[in-house]
Amino acid sequence: MPEGDTIFRAARTLHRALAGKTITGFRSTFALLTRFNDDSPLPGQMLTSVESRGKWLLMHFSGGGILATHMLMNGSWHIYRPGERWQLPASAMRLVIETADYIAVGFNVPVAEMHTPQSLAREKRIPSAASDVLGTDFEESAAVERLLSLPDLELGEALLRQQALAGVGNVFKSEVCFAAHLNPFQKVATLTRPQAAAVVSAARLQLQSNVLEDSGNRIVTYRGRTRRTTRRSDPGESLWVYARRGQPCRRCGEPIRRRLQGSDARSTYWCPRCQPLPDGRDIDG
């Protein structure tokens, strides 16, 4: 599933390509979006801005509509020049937004809905701008309070609560806990305030380091990217613990463990030596 860094980069690229441009065409396989376009045509309106809110991507139109999309596991946005060949089949298209210069195509997008500013403020699934780890309104002190307000959750589960730290997904969950030297299975109630602050700071630092500019081309049509939390250039050494079960810890050499966590049974990775539980218990993994 795309995490906050992926959605941030997508929003940034879409904004550069489309913001301030007049919409010349709109198509969608979502019936409600097609109906909205019939009632309030998007062609002729201007796309004013594109932003990310954690794992949600929001497109703001001059007529007041806000298109919110969530990629879940397989969705993606591509940008093409008019006439450029798509890299995925047309059968995977869910949304197309056209301007004179660029065409934005949403492939396999599972969730897409149109909002007004009022309905967006009421929508509980879409986090506020203030909770977005990569947002300009994000305040670490406020995020610490939001995290500590979830005392009964295990730390790994709490990090996936988007209203607390929007943008942190399953990969960053494990990586952030390792960076903060904390066990992902300990309860938030066991954290000291400095430990909670270390978690928030690590989340902010890791996501920010994965959205730095790395191309002279300001409009990137489509390309992959390797996520890094170790700051090492070797793609084989890009992560501390995620997906490294049984491999030696990069700090101490202890084999990395994996265990399913939470009601969604998400994979969690940790080093038992670097990240012991506060009470000294061992966790099978």
Asked if 14 and 77 count as a contact pair (C-beta separation under 8 A), the reply is yes
Q: What are phi and psi of 200, to 5 degrees?
A: -65, -45
Report the interhelical angle of 193-209 vs 4-18 (nearest 10°). Answer: 40
Active-site annotation holds for 187: no
Active-site annotation holds for 151: no
**End-to-end C-alpha distance for the chain, whole angstroms:** 23
Mean per-residue pLDDT, 16-40:
97
Cα distance between residue 174 and residue 183, in whole Å:
9
Of residues 16 and 237, more confidence is placed in: 16
**Residue 222 confidence (pLDDT):** 39
For the chain, the domains span 4-126, 130-270
Mean per-residue pLDDT, 240-262:
96
Of residues 283 and 251, more confidence is placed in: 251
Report the interhelical angle of 170-179 vs 193-209 (nearest 10°). Answer: 130
pLDDT in tens, 54-85: 999 999 999 999 999 999 989 999 999 999 99
DSSP state of 142: H
Q: Report CA-CA distances (Å) from 194 to 143, 145, 282.
A: 13, 12, 24
Q: Which of 246, 153, 243 is nearest to 191 (CA)?
A: 153
> Which superfamily is assigned to 4-126 in CATH?
MutM-like, N-terminal (3.20.190.10)
Question: Across all residues in the chain, what is the average pLDDT?
Answer: 92
Asked if 219 and 102 count as a contact pair (C-beta separation under 8 A), the reply is yes
Give the number of other Cβ atoms within 10 Å of residue 283's Cβ. Answer: 16
* CATH topology agreement for domains 4-126 and 130-270: no
Q: Which of 274, 259, 248, 273 is nearest to 179 (CA)?
A: 274
Cα distance between residue 234 and residue 80, in whole Å:
30
Give, for 112, the enclosing helix (H) or strand (E).
strand 111-115
Q: Tell me: pLDDT of 223 over 80.
A: no
Please tell me which residue in 41, 43, 55, 82 is annotated as part of the active site: 55
**Residue 212 confidence (pLDDT):** 83
Asked if 174 and 184 count as a contact pair (C-beta separation under 8 A), the reply is yes
Cα distance between residue 204 and residue 213, in whole Å:
16
The whole model's pTM is what? 0.90
Active-site annotation holds for 2: yes
Q: Tell me: pLDDT of 216 over 50.
A: no
Cα distance between residue 92 and residue 88, in whole Å:
7
Mean per-residue pLDDT, 251-272:
95
Decide yes or no: CATH 1.10.8.50 for domain 130-270.
Answer: yes
Share of the chain above pLDDT 70, in %: 95
